[in-house]
Amino acid sequence: MAGLRPLPLHLTTSGTPASSPGPAVLLGATDIRALAASIDLTPTKTLGQNFVIDGGTVQRIVRTARLRPDDVVLEIGPGLGSLTLALLPNVRRVIAVEIDARLAELLPSTIAFRLPGALERLTVIHRDAMNLDLRGDEYPTAIVANLPYNVAVPVLLTMLARLPSVRRVLIMVQLEVAARLAAKPGEDAYGVPSVKAAWYGSARMAGTIGRLVFWPAPRVDSGLVALDRHDPPQTTATRDEVFAVIDAAFGQRRKTLRAALAGWAGSPALAEIALREAGIDPSARGETLDVAQFARIAEQRPHQE
């Protein structure tokens, strides 16, 4: 970001710069409200703007992320900097991507005031994360973020697809979404996000977070999801081909795969043949299959004239 804004005077009364995060560096409720007021920001639901007001929570996120000193962390939606301040002392660089211009512009001055030595290790990009293009920047090795709730799954899956350099992820999302991302075949929460996330890595629930650590407080609790990247299943099908089967299988929940994949295969009979070739029982339901089994089905798609 070019040029730092002068620090709003009323913010200089709380916190003193330090080299490692402590209560004086991390943002509390009063700091968050003052920072928001300094840029006339009324948090908006459309952008999922719920800011963390509790230092213990951001420290817990950083601990759970198991970061290494040489990590380059991509933080999506740094907001007023709550998590950024906890990340910076622990890693080589933070690349913070923020869609809201006022927040992107304010962030460097917040870091300059609270952690001045860390400013040169922060890159702020004002952009929609869905349109992120990191050419010319350092490639992130980890994603740590308190994601905007309404776009959490597409943002996560897009980042994993576009940034193979990312090996580890720790995100805070709505508790229900966390459960879906981490669910295993046969579990109630298992669905499209679970299988697609499993293409990229193994996801697990890494904790729950109450709503009172945010301003404004959301209506739901949050969950932490950790994902360690692994190679995708060995298959001759492309990722898009596998994801098309997943979408079709869950598009008609509680139907047998023979019925749910009829459109994808061309007819129920063709779906049955493809499933049998893949070694899958045509009367099974998508909710019971793992990502490798979906890949085997994708390999059997009948050629369509």
Interface contacts to ligand SAM, rule CB under 6 A: 47-52, 76-79, 82-83, 97-100, 103, 128-130, 146, 148, 151
Residue 1 and residue 107: Cα distance in Å, rounded?
9
Nearer Cβ to ligand SAM (94/97): 97
CB of 218 to ligand SAM, least distance (A): 8
Nearer Cβ to ligand SAM (95/274): 95
CB of 46 to ligand SAM, least distance (A): 8
CB of 18 to ligand SAM, least distance (A): 20
Cross-sheet strand order for the sheet of 122-126: 122-126, 93-98, 72-76, 142-146, 168-174, 222-229, 201-209
Residue 19 and residue 89: Cα distance in Å, rounded?
7
By the 10 Å C-beta count (0-12 exposed, 13-18 middle, 19+ buried), 2 is classed as exposed
CB of 121 to ligand SAM, least distance (A): 17
Residues 6+ apart with CB under 8 A from 114: 15, 17, 18, 25, 81, 85
DSSP 8-state symbol, 139:
P
Nearer Cβ to ligand SAM (151/227): 151
CB of 54 to ligand SAM, least distance (A): 10
Residue 87 and residue 253: Cα distance in Å, rounded?
40
Nearer Cβ to ligand SAM (24/217): 217
Nearer Cβ to ligand SAM (134/259): 134
